Amino acid sequence: LPNGIITHSSNTSSEANMLFLTVGSNLTVDGAINVDGRGYLGGNGPGKAAGSYAGGAGHGGRGGQHDPGTPGTTYGSITSPTNIGSGGLNASGSTGAGGGAVRLIVSGTTTVDGAVSADGVPAYCSGSGGSVFLTTDALAGGGVIRANGGAATAGGGGGGRIAVVLTNSTDLGGIAFQALGGGSTKAGAAGTVYLARTGQAPGCGTLIVDASNKVSATAYPVTLINSNVMDTVVGTVVITNKAILVIDTNQSLTVNGSWSNAAS
């Protein structure tokens, strides 16, 4: 993909379109695989907000609150995410769509020097990040793989979900992984990044929840494990940069390895 862009068609109120690409050799992304804003439209999706003023949409992390609304909640898979992001909801109509979904299966090495992006759209109340799920022999490059929530002034979108599974390598190259919540004072919560290397059994990779030091003025923005979140068995958990991971009542997160909390 030298300096080109690959995307998929936009979704509206249902999860109809995503990008599914199988490559029988190596894949090089110098340009972009970009499905920003190709998820649910504003006010749609399982992570949409509720209430008269609503707020940012959720996916991997909860959305940011727009008083007195209730921001969107979390859903989808940690280890094999394929859901599109939800749309923000606001009484004034200023809403952002969620990010789309990318599924890549690569038999050789995936080199990302550009971007693989599934961001939510910035708005007054923004869309959540979508999904990027990559299975590849090896990973190289210095680009970025991201599924960030849209920035906002009244309700940022929650971060989406990223999963990378290496089938013949332990080296993640120089890739930056981002599933950040959008916004500032009413920011959405961080989404999830799951990284598995060869030799690790299914569900034994590392779950990273990174808020990039964003602190919201409201209590809602958390990375929530609820009944809509699937595949909650991981090897190692890393919570960092002021992220908050919450496990809902009667739910669980099974950790087969270590738990590192460097959130503060």
Q: State the Cα–Cα distance between residues 83 and 62, nearest whole angstrom.
A: 15
Give the pLDDT band (50/70/90) at residue 262: confident
Residue 258 has pLDDT above 80, yes or no: yes
Residue 185 has pLDDT above 80, yes or no: no
Residue 191 has pLDDT above 90, yes or no: yes
Q: State the Cα–Cα distance between residues 77 and 233, nearest whole angstrom.
A: 11
∠ Cα 54 60 63 (to 5°):
20
Maximum distance among all alpha carbons in the chain?
51
pLDDT score of 233? 95
pLDDT in tens, 53-104: 789 999 999 999 887 788 899 999 999 999 999 999 988 777 999 999 999 9
Residue 46 has pLDDT above 80, yes or no: yes
Bigger pLDDT: 254 vs 94: 254
Query: What are the DSSP calls for 116-180, one per residue?
Result: EE-PPPPSSBPPPP-EEEEEEEEEE-S-EEE-PPPP-SS-PPPP-EEEEEESS-S--TT-EEE-P
pLDDT score of 219? 61
Write out the two tokens for 157: 């979108």
Q: Which of 26, 31, 34 is nearest to 10 (CA)?
A: 34
Write out the two tokens for 117: 């992006």
Residue 35 has pLDDT above 60, yes or no: yes
Compute the average pLDDT of residues 196-221: 86
Compute the average pLDDT of residues 217-243: 89
From edge to edge, which strands make up the β-sheet containing 115-117? 5-6, 32-34, 115-117, 144-146, 176-178
Q: Measuring CA to CA, how many Å separate 79 from each of 87, 100, 170?
A: 23, 17, 17
pLDDT score of 2? 57
pLDDT score of 67? 76
Question: For the chain, how many helices (H) and strands (E)?
Answer: 0, 20
Compute the average pLDDT of residues 200-220: 85
Lowest mean pLDDT among 44-58, 180-194, 214-228, 249-263: 214-228
Give the pLDDT band (50/70/90) at residue 264: low
Q: Which of 177, 176, 132, 180 is nearest to 156 (CA)?
A: 180
Residue 1 has pLDDT above 60, yes or no: no
- Phi and psi of 158, rounded to 5°? -70, 155
Compute the average pLDDT of residues 19-32: 97
Query: What are the DSSP calls for 18-54, one per residue?
Result: -EEEEESS-EEESSEEE-TT-SPPTT-STT--BSSS-
Lowest mean pLDDT among 64-73, 113-122, 132-141, 198-207: 64-73
To 10 degrees, the CA torsion angle through 26, 28, 29, 31? -140
Compute the average pLDDT of residues 111-116: 97
- pTM value? 0.96
Q: Which of 23, 219, 60, 66 is nearest to 152 (CA)?
A: 66
